[in-house]
Each structure stands twice: as C-alpha cells, then as structure tokens.
Amino acid sequence: MPAPTSAAPPVPPAGADPEAGPSDDASTEVYRSVQNSLAFQRIRHSYRSFVFPVSGVFLAWYLLYVAAQAAAPGLMRTPVAGPVNVAWLLGLLQFATTFLLTWLYARNARTQRDRAALSLRWDTQDQLR
C-alpha cells in the first residue's frame, strides 16, 4: 500500500466562511473589547439581577402550586365561589403571574437596558466600519 504523498487541505470549522480574510480578526477583537467593556457588564448585570430572582420566585410559586395539589387535595378542593375552588383560583393566578412578569420584564428592559444596549450597538457598528 503506497503512503499518501500530500496532506489534505485543512478543513475550516463548521459555520466559518472559507473566503473570510483578516477583517474577521479585527471584528473579533471589537466584539471582545465590547464584551469586556464596563457598559456591557452593566447591561449584563442589570439583566441578570432582574431575571434570575424573578425566575426563581416564579419557579417556587409554580412548585408550591404543584406540591399543594399533591399534598393537600382537600384544601385544593375547597370551594371559593360557586364552582371555582382553590385549585382553579391558584391555577388562574399562575396565568396572571405569567402576564404580570412578562409586563415587568418588558418594562425593566425598556427602562434599564434598551438605551444602553442600543448605544453600545451603535458604538460597535462604528468600530466595525
């Protein structure tokens, strides 16, 4: 069996543009500098300081509802008004909570992060030109 005389050309990573030139290195550096910037860190901190606690509270609220269904079926069957019992009331409150948290998230994003993120985006686009 003959040994191969030449090596195969290197294969670019998946998703990489084979015709991309040195400008990709410059854009990578721009995005890395943005990621390390104080403005980006503030945006990320604002996002995380809202989303993580709210997600935890909502998950606890949901698990409390499920645990109450399993552990206290008698309590959950207690009538509140007509055919509506505690289980129905808490289930409907899950929907209300979802809509409330969606509204709070949108308001938080609009007031805390959107302007800063847009400014950072424009600065980044200027650096890439």
In a domain, 18, yes or no: no
Q: Look-up: residue for tokens 């709210």?
A: 54
Q: How many domains does the chain have?
A: 1
pLDDT digits (tens, 9 = 90+) for 42-86: 889 999 999 999 999 999 999 999 999 999 999 999 999 999 999
pTM for the model stands at 0.66
In a domain, 87, yes or no: yes
pLDDT digits (tens, 9 = 90+) for 110-121: 988 888 888 888
In a domain, 12, yes or no: no
Buried b (16+ CB within 10 A) or exposed e, 97-117: beeebeeeeeebeeebbeeeb
Which range marks the domain in which residue 88 is found? 38-128
Residue 13 CA to its chain's centroid (Å): 27
